[in-house]
């Protein structure tokens, strides 16, 4: 029995070590995906997003400049930090859901912080789940999306639908 154990043990140990390493890799991967400043995936997951033709935002995107609570109901909040906010909004007029992200860059020189707002029309839980997994950078891979960008030095924001 003793020689047999001696032969088997390294193989058993190696298998155990591989399992631990795989778990560690999974954990590190999950941790990375949860961050905002992560590296972009080469191909963001493709999801079908329907044009919200009935929504005033599609026809008159500039109306997004109205105070956010006048335009939308807040349905759910997915993340909130001082310069980053992610939530689900519902158009008060037509009920269209929008996955919303707000980001603000810190301008330490002039205090003129550039602000970026992204509105992605959504319909299903599956779409929302995919967007929640995406980084700020990866959200730029979804179309159509409404962008309201207040760049540094700008007097007014630039509002536009970005279509593929």
Count CB atoms within 10 A of the CB of residue 58.
16
User: For residues 79 and 85, is the Cβ–Cβ distance under 8 A?
Assistant: yes
Nearer to Zn ion, 91 or 146 (CB): 91
Q: CA 149, CA 114: separation in Å to the nearest integer?
A: 8
Both tokens of residue 2?
Answer: 């003793």
Nearer to Zn ion, 40 or 95 (CB): 95
Nearer to Zn ion, 94 or 162 (CB): 94
Nearer to Zn ion, 44 or 87 (CB): 87
DSSP letter, residue 12: H
| Residue 74 interacts with Zn ion (CB under 5 A): yes or no | no
- What residues numbered 52-71 form the site for Zn ion, per CB under 5 A? 55
Both tokens of residue 38?
Answer: 């992560």
Both tokens of residue 101?
Answer: 């992200």
Q: What is the three-class DSSP state of 1? A: coil
Question: Which residue stretch of 59-67, 89-97, 142-150, 151-159 sits at the interface with Zn ion (rule: CB under 5 A)?
Answer: 89-97
Residue from 44, 71, 88, 96 in contact with Zn ion (CB under 5 A): 96
Number of residues binding to Zn ion, judged by CB under 5 A: 5
Q: Which residues are near Zn ion by CB under 5 A?
A: 55, 91, 93-94, 96
């Amino acid at each position: 029995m003793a020689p047999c154990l001696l032969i088997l043990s390294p193989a058993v140990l190696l298998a155990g070590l591989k399992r631990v390493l795989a778990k560690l890799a999974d954990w590190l991967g999950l941790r990375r995906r949860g961050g905002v400043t992560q590296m972009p995936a080469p191909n963001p997951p493709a999801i079908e997003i329907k044009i919200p033709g009935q929504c005033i935002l599609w026809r008159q995107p500039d109306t997004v400049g109205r105070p956010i609570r006048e335009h939308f109901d807040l349905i759910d909040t997915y993340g909130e930090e001082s310069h980053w906010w992610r939530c689900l909004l519902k158009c008060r007029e037509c009920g269209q859901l929008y996955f919303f992200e707000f980001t603000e860059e810190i301008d330490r020189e002039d205090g003129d912080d550039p602000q970026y707002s992204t509105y992605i029309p959504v319909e299903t839980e599956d779409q929302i789940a995919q967007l929640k997994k995406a980084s700020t950078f990866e959200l730029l891979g979804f179309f159509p999306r409404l962008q309201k960008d207040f760049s540094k030095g700008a007097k007014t924001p630039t509002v536009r639908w970005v279509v593929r």
